[in-house]
Amino acid sequence: MTAVAAYAAPAAKAPLERTTIARRPVGPHDVLIEIKYSGICHSDIHQVKEEWGESLFPMVPGHEIAGVVTAVGDQVTKHKVGDRVGVGCFVDSCGECDNCKAGMEQFCLTGATATYPVDPNGDHMYGGYSTHIVVTENFALKIPEGVALDVAAPLLCAGITLYSPLKRWGAGPGKKVAVVGLGGLGHMGVKIAAALGAEVTVLSQSLRKQEDGLRLGAEAFYATSDPATFEELAGSFDLIVSTVSANFDLNAILGLVKTGGVFVNVGAPADPLPVHLFSLIDGNKTLAGSMIGGIAETQEMLDFCAEHGLGADIELIDADRINEAYDRVLAGDVRYRFVIDAATI
């Protein structure tokens, strides 16, 4: 075991503080990654605050990791020392179940191993707010030279979370796509949908971020707080992807979907949302959900972003500002992703 520096929450709801953690030795199929950058996802805050159920502490969050390989096991074939790599929301799966064989390792039927905070056996896992991490070679993604490591880090969660549903439900030329919410997830949805060739509209609570939305690639921007929006845009969109974690009027949003269109939810509101089934029946509409993507699809997303010059809009911070960044995320005061400079850990 090797001791490395990290930032951890010592207990639920406690501020994060600098500490040291143990990383396992590099096994035959492992790679050791020197972490350069780690994104701050809103789910990190949920986990630290123990809002998704009981967990293990101390907790080192972080599943948007970008770095460089510094050592490889003697049977590693996919990576070499010096490679630019990323690690996302999970670091292992069984590889044998139907979902794993179909490239959906995130839905491993025996339980994918999350980057943090626990594995399927209930053992401690430490995330990316640290200087180094050891992972199995199959779960380290290649980051192409066409995207810088700092803006690539959020792609490992925010990027794939939006790329997967946009690709699956056919965002592209001739399709009208709406992205609900312009935050860490939503801003990547606008960029990716526009790069795919779709006509993109942002639906946000207010027009406060309108200039940003148009800069990122949207052709239109509407406020959901304005009742006229729902009259003007009724039945307009082939695909709507909602990224918001706050409660919203799902039936009103479904009214904006075209006949035969799709509404996909990737956000995670805390409370159940009521749905009037006639909102779906009237128009043969589909209500769907999506969660990240498998390893192959995540690599496809990284290659796509590099090809199109896409990265997250970030604010780079030193590690001693993590707690401040958490407060600002909760206040909606970030455009659009905080990324930790791991050199400051």
Asked whether residue 223 carries a pLDDT value surpassing 90, the answer given is: yes
Residue 203 CA to residue 186 CA, distance in Å, equals 10
Residue 268: predicted pLDDT: 79
Structure tokens that stand for 232 in this block: 């003007």
Residue 295 CA to residue 89 CA, distance in Å, equals 10
pLDDT tens digit string along 111-131? 999 999 999 988 999 999 999
pLDDT tens digit string along 130-187? 999 999 999 999 999 999 999 999 999 999 999 999 999 999 999 999 999 999 999 9
Domain coordinates of the chain in residue numbers?
Answer: 2-157+293-344, 159-289
pLDDT tens digit string along 186-216? 999 999 999 999 999 999 999 999 999 999 9
pLDDT tens digit string along 261-310? 999 999 977 778 888 898 999 999 999 999 999 999 999 999 999 999 99
**CB-count exposure of residue 27 (10 Å: 0-12, 13-18, 19+):** middle
Asked whether residue 246 carries a pLDDT value surpassing 90, the answer given is: no
Residue 286 CA to residue 263 CA, distance in Å, equals 6
Closest of 230, 60, 89 to residue 158, by C-alpha: 89
Q: What is the chain's alpha carbon radius of gyration, rounded to the nearest angstrom?
A: 20
In the predicted model, what is the mean pLDDT of the chain? 96
Residue 18: predicted pLDDT: 98
CATH level 3 topology of 2-157+293-344: Quinone Oxidoreductase; Chain A, domain 1 (3.90.180)
Question: CA–CA distance from 55 to each of 48, 51, 104, 192, 277 (Å)?
Answer: 9, 10, 25, 34, 36
Range scoring the smallest mean pLDDT among 50-64, 85-99, 287-301: 50-64
- pLDDT band at residue 313, thresholds of 50, 70 and 90? very high
215 neighbors 239 (Cβ within 8 angstroms): no
Q: What is the mean pLDDT of residues 23-28?
A: 97
Residue 320 CA to residue 322 CA, distance in Å, equals 6
Structural element, H or E, at residue 193: helix 184-196
Asked whether residue 1 carries a pLDDT value surpassing 80, the answer given is: no
Other Cβ atoms closer than 10 A to 310: 24
pTM of the predicted structure, to 2 decimals: 0.95
- Is it true that domain 159-289 has CATH number 3.30.420.40? no
